[in-house]
Every structure is written in structure tokens, then in C-alpha cells.
Amino acid sequence: MANSSAYQSKQPDENGNIHWSQQENAIWSELYHRQISLLPGRACQQYLDGLTLLDLPENRIPQLSEIDSVLESTTGWRTAPVPALINFSSFFALLADKQFPVANFIRSREEFDYLQEPDIFHEVFGHCPLLTNPAFAHFTHTYGKLGLAASKEERIYLARLYWFTVEFGLVNTVEGQRIYGGGILSSPGETCYALESNAPLKVPMNPLDVLRTPYRIDIMQPLYYELASFDDLFTLAESDIMKLVQQAMKLGLHAPLFEIAPKQAS
């Protein structure tokens, strides 16, 4: 997790609303329209169903209260406004309380196509639609509770599970491979690359292997793990994940499929 950010989250007013500028709303609109055109035939149906439920505005950044009203009525979740970056303890504590952290800033024009930090577009467009789904919501809640109780070393292993599921997961469907990871679904380049490029490996989900797989945050992913079905997230949440973490710690990491970059491989 990065230690500093060039962005500052905007503060809500007395009614909990953020006053976004015309330029910030324009960036949201362009990101939204670019990404929404790529989703048919690529995003999983559970995500598309959630996107319909949220009914995100096309031409302005939504208020978090608008997101909360849908999440609370479907799975009991809500969003939590946070600074641009938070530590692991705060992150896990929020998830354990069914609160999904959302930083109240949007990327600049200079970083329009790629941003390492999670901005409001990534968090709301990429992740919040699936928080309306019971299996995904249960997995994320369970993950938060496990992370909150885990040691510092265990959290590093758990971070890989989150990365290869919530952020960069694929799922098998009767129509073919589909995307459910928010890190892919909020990125136009990776949305096409993940399904249509022959460069990355795509392998069946094996939780123990996932926990042992290094990743980098600043490259197109060389490897994706695919669920056999979306409901496998619920099954995974009900398994003994921490036992698998202990096994992974004993076995050690797989060899990375990328060049190691200092402070960017986990």
C-alpha cells in the first residue's frame, strides 16, 4: 500500500454531499461513457445487474448517499468516504463493518488513462455494482473480518487473494469467460486485454496458488484466476481461508511472471 498521495479527498458539506467541479464531473462522464461501451459481452451478468440497480449518473459524479440507498436495501452494505490512501487496518475494519472505502477524489486529466491509486471512479464504477450481489458481498465481508484479525505477514498473503478476485478476477459462464474484478472493469485497456489478448495466462481458481502468486500493480496482469462459477465466491468465503494462508506461508511464493520492480511487487 502506498504511503503518500498527490490527491486530496474533497470534504462533504453539512448534508454529506460533495460539491464537484464542472471539470471533475466532465472527467467522470468521459470515463463512464468510454467504459460502459466496453462492458457488453465482457462483464459478468452479476456486475451488469448491479450496475442497473445503482443507475449511476452518466454526466456527473454520484453522491455516496445515492450509492448507499441501493447497497443498504440489497446487501446491507454502504460506502465510507476516506482519504486518498488508508492503511490496511482501516481498510479491513471498514470491510468487516460492511463499509466499502471510497476516496472522494477523481483522477486528473494527466492520469486519465491510468492511475495507480483507487479514485472514486474505480471504487464506485468498478466495485460498487457487485456489492449488490449476495455472494460477492458475503465474500468481501468475510475477507474484511479475516484481515482485521490477521497478523501483518498474514495480511500480505490475504492481499493477493483480494487482488486476484475482487480486483482482477475472471469467471466462467455459459456464454464464456467474463470479468468481475473491479480493477479490470474500470480500465478500458485491461477490459479488452484480459479477455482478448493471448499474452496473459488464465487458469482455474486455486485459492492456495492465489495466496502464493506475486503481483505488480503497475502493469497489465500476466495471470488471471478464473472462478468456475460466480457462486464459488460464497463457497470460498465459507472455506478455511486462514488455514490456506498458513499453508501458503510454509510453501512460499511462486516465481513471479514479471520483472521485479522495487516496492511494487507483493
* Nearest residue to 83 via CA among 21, 1, 142: 1
H or E stretch at 170: strand 170-173
For residue 235, how many other CB atoms are within 10 A of its CB? 13
Using DSSP's 3-state secondary structure scheme, residue 264 falls into: coil
Contact 51, 58 (CB under 8 A): no
Is 127 annotated as ligand-binding?
yes
Task: Classify residue 253 as exposed, middle or buried by CB count within 10 Å of its CB (0-12, 13-18, 19+).
Answer: middle
Q: Cell for 85?
A: 490512501
Extract the C-alpha cell encoding 96. Answer: 468487516
122 assigned to a ligand binding site: yes
**Is 167 known as a binding-site position?**
yes
Backbone CA torsion sign across 193, 194, 195, 201: positive
Closest alpha carbon to 72 in 105, 44, 100 = 100
Binding residues: 122, 127, 167
Binding residues for Fe cation: 122, 127, 167
